[in-house]
Amino acid sequence: MLLNINTMFNRLEEYVIALLLSAMTLITFSQVIARYFFNSGAIWALELTSYCFAWLVLFGMSYGVRVGAHISVDAMTRLLPVSWQRICAILAVLICLLYCVLLFVGSMMYVYIIYDFGIPSEDLPIKQWVPYSILPIGMALLFFRFMQVLVQIIYK
């Protein structure tokens, strides 16, 4: 059961990333066609593409942790005994978790302020807190992935 939920979560993450990348490509392509062939185009397209890119980056961070795509500098830790390597890895993940918590709290405060003031989006007919909500969502996803890494290191 837990494996199926994890697999579904992984697939959902991949589908959202693919959807965002596809949306960015289609929006940008349609705007290029509209501008160069029809001398028109929507003002909101650049803003929507920017929001899609931000969502893509923040979903991509957690995906990168899941697939091990982030770089790690382990030249010094490889010189240590295996038990100390594990301790260093656990310490590094704990620091990453603390980073996620700090950014999550800060982003929640930021999104709440934007929500509270009711700031509208510049060119889209939505409130700005809606696209900015990816900040705490992305940090929560990243926290979840780092927790998976921590469990993997501990029980390895």
- Over residues 54-81, the pLDDT tens digits come to 999 999 999 999 998 887 778 788 888 9
Distance CA 123, CA 115 (A): 17
Tokens of 4: 């199926």
Angle, CA of 136, 141 and 143, to the nearest 5°:
90
- Interval 8-30 mean pLDDT: 95
Q: How far is CA 83 from CA 21, 79, 95, in A?
A: 41, 11, 19
**pTM metric for this prediction:** 0.90
Domain edges within the chain: 2-154
**Res 1: pLDDT:** 61
